[in-house]
A = this chain, B = another copy of it.
Amino acid sequence: MRRKLLRAFGSVALAGAAAAASPSGDVPDETLRLARDLCESAAKGTRAADWVASLTDRVGPRLAGSPGDRESIAWALSTLRALGFERVRAEPVRVRVWRREAESGEVVAPHRLPLVLTALGGSVATPADGVEAEVFRVHSLEELDSAAAGAAGKIVFFDKKMERAADGSGYGRAVDVRSHGASRAARHGALGVLIRSIGTDDNRLPHTGGLDYEDGAPRIPAAALAIPDAELLARLLDAGERVRVRFRLVCGDSGEADSANVVGEVTGSRKPDEIVLLGAHRDSWDLGTGAIDDAAGCGIVLEAARRIRELSRRPARTIRVVLYANEENGGAGGKEYARAHAEELPKHAAALEADAGTGRPRGLSWLAGSSAAPTLAAIAPALAPAGAASLFPEGTGGADITPLRAAGVPVFAVLQDATRYFDYHHTANDTFDKIERDGLDRTTAAVAAFAYAAADLVQPFERVPPEKRTAPRRR
């Protein structure tokens, strides 16, 4: 997950209302019964962790355009085929390639101390012997703008702390310095940027993540300090020291490469040309093995669709699993899917993305036309065995399906407990051992139940109204 807003705007839980509502005519009783059965059995245990282990232990890191990215395309094709999916294929996606080769840093004054840091994804390299300057600390983009004169010739240190929260909302409030800090500081004459990692742990394992260089601003190198190292800088600065830092990044853009969205289907029984899309992203950052981000999502959607495929009664519509390319640093997979399938998008009845780790479900977020509300209220009880019966309107879907939302496709996500997610997110620590099996299975259960019901509705959900198809640009 890159920077999807986990916060559910207006998080009014409608579970109580749902339980009281009589089933809508759009949702046959038999559909609801089968969806609930799916949920109940999957919540007790699934094979999702097997697919996660397979991707992380057999392929490992898979940044767009890397050898691991290519290997994971082969992995996805063979896995989808082995599990019996139909029309399994790799749909080509061109991606920009960014590579990390070496990185190091140190405090050089008042005393020499090593610093643990990692380049932000997309950063330019430093000069070969690094960039060295006095540190200028600010706590936000706004503080930088109001104290801009201090940044010229300095390394700007964004000391902004992410707060832990079950809904992950601390991420959205902190991540702007990662996305926009480099260009903002560069406009004020800074030579480089260091941020306190956007995370909630206390490990010397920095959090990478994409930055966005703005047109017209000089491109300066930017890196994230591990949280203990950011706190070291902060203590020295708090003590009134003038702190000089040097850091060196060998990294950068290295052209384009071929990648792919990997797709497989469970063909619908009565409306096979209508699609319920279950997405997750196949790529990962390079530091860990992308277990929670997003092998977990791949495991969830593979397993949810596999369990639907094994039912004796298939849903009316086709379940399409899409394992997207390049979510983390470019979003080319999501954009290319929407472009290549533009003519087919009116036939996309729903899209759900799984990209929130393996915490337990908290509910289902949704964005569709308002008439979907009673239908969803009828479906929600089927998600109760997974703990996901609460409904959160005004959902955002997920990064890869944002281009589908822009075309009016109703988007969904199972919201999960994110309390620990940002301890590991985008770090070397994102490895298989961090998978919480119970949360993984329950999320799989909720996705399977929702997907089954959505694919079997008499009438599809009302499309997203035009005014809600694009999210406000976040800074």
Chain A residues within CB distance 8 Å of chain B: 53, 57-61, 67, 71, 110-114, 116, 202-205, 227-228, 231-232, 235-236, 288-289, 428-429, 431-434
Contact = CB atoms under 8 A, between A and B. Distances in A.
A232 B111 contact: no
B113 A431 contact: no
Contact of A61 (B57, B114, B232, B433): B114
13 contacts: A57-B232, A59-B111, A60-B112, A60-B114, A113-B289, A202-B433, A202-B434, A203-B205, A204-B288, A227-B433, A228-B429, A228-B434, A231-B432
Nearest to A53: B235
* A-B pairs with lowest CB-CB distance, top 9: A228-B431, A60-B113, A204-B428, A228-B433, A203-B203, A231-B433, A58-B111, A204-B429, A202-B433
B235 A111 contact: no
B57 A113 contact: yes
Given A58-B110, A58-B111, A205-B205, 6 more contacts: A57-B111, A57-B236, A60-B111, A204-B429, A204-B431, A232-B431
Contacts of A61: 114
A212 B228 CA distance: 32
Contacts of A202: 429, 433-434
B204 A235 contact: no
Nearest to A61: B114
Contacts of A71: 111
Contacts of A205: 203-205
Contacts of A431: 204, 228, 232
A71 B204 CA distance: 23
A131 to B, nearest CB: 21
A222 to B, nearest CB: 22
B116 A428 contact: yes
Contacts of A434: 202, 228
A114 B62 CA distance: 12
A196 to B, nearest CB: 12
Contacts of A67: 112
B235 A203 contact: no
Nearest to A239: B57
A205 B431 CA distance: 13
Nearest to A107: B60
A150 B71 CA distance: 32
A235 B113 contact: no
Contacts of A236: 57
Contacts of A111: 57-60, 71
A289 B431 CA distance: 26
Contacts of A231: 432-433
Nearest to A428: B204
Contacts of A60: 111-114
Nearest to A230: B433
A378 B1 CA distance: 61
Contacts of A59: 111
